[in-house]
A and B are shown apart, each in its own frame.
Chain A
Amino acid sequence: MKETKKWVLHRVSATILAPLYVWLYFSIVSLSIENYSEAVYFFKNPLFGILTIMVFFVGFFHVKISLSEIFEDYIHNKKIKDAANILALILCIIIPVIILILLIYKI
Chain B
Amino acid sequence: MSDSKNPLSPHLQIYRWHISSLVSITHRISGVINLLALILIFFWLLILSFGENNYELFLLVVNSFFGKFILIGFTWSMTFHVLSGVRHLVWDLGYGFEIKTAKISGIIVIISSLVLTILFWLFGRGLI
* Residues of A in contact with B (beta carbons under 8 Å apart): 11, 14-15, 18, 21-22, 24-26, 28-30, 32-33, 35-37, 39-40, 43, 52, 55-56, 59-60, 63, 66-67, 70, 95, 98-99, 102-103, 106-107
B59 within 8 A of A: yes
Inter-chain CB contacts under 8 Å: number: 82
CB under 8 Å from chain A, chain B span 38-62: 38-39, 41-42, 44-46, 48-49, 52, 55-56, 59, 62
User: Helix, strand, loop or mixed for chain A's interface?
Assistant: helix
> Shortest Cβ distance from A79 into chain B, in angstroms?
23
Which residue of chain A is the closest to B121 with respect to CB atoms? A29
* Residues of B in contact with A (beta carbons under 8 Å apart): 28, 31-32, 34-35, 37-39, 41-42, 44-46, 48-49, 52, 55-56, 59, 62-63, 71, 74-75, 78, 82, 85-86, 89, 92, 120-121, 123-126
User: Helix, strand, loop or mixed for chain B's interface?
Assistant: helix
- CB of A102 within 8 A of CB of B45, answer yes
> Shortest Cβ distance from B47 into chain A, in angstroms?
10
> Shortest Cβ distance from B46 into chain A, in angstroms?
7
Cα-based distance from A28 to B28 in the complex (angstroms): 23
- CB of A107 within 8 A of CB of B125, answer no
Cα-based distance from A21 to B59 in the complex (angstroms): 21
> Shortest Cβ distance from B32 into chain A, in angstroms?
8
- CB of B75 within 8 A of CB of A25, answer yes
- CB of B48 within 8 A of CB of A22, answer no
Cα-based distance from A22 to B81 in the complex (angstroms): 11
Which residue of chain A is the closest to B127 with respect to CB atoms? A33
Q: Which residues of A contact B32 (CB under 8 A)?
A: 70
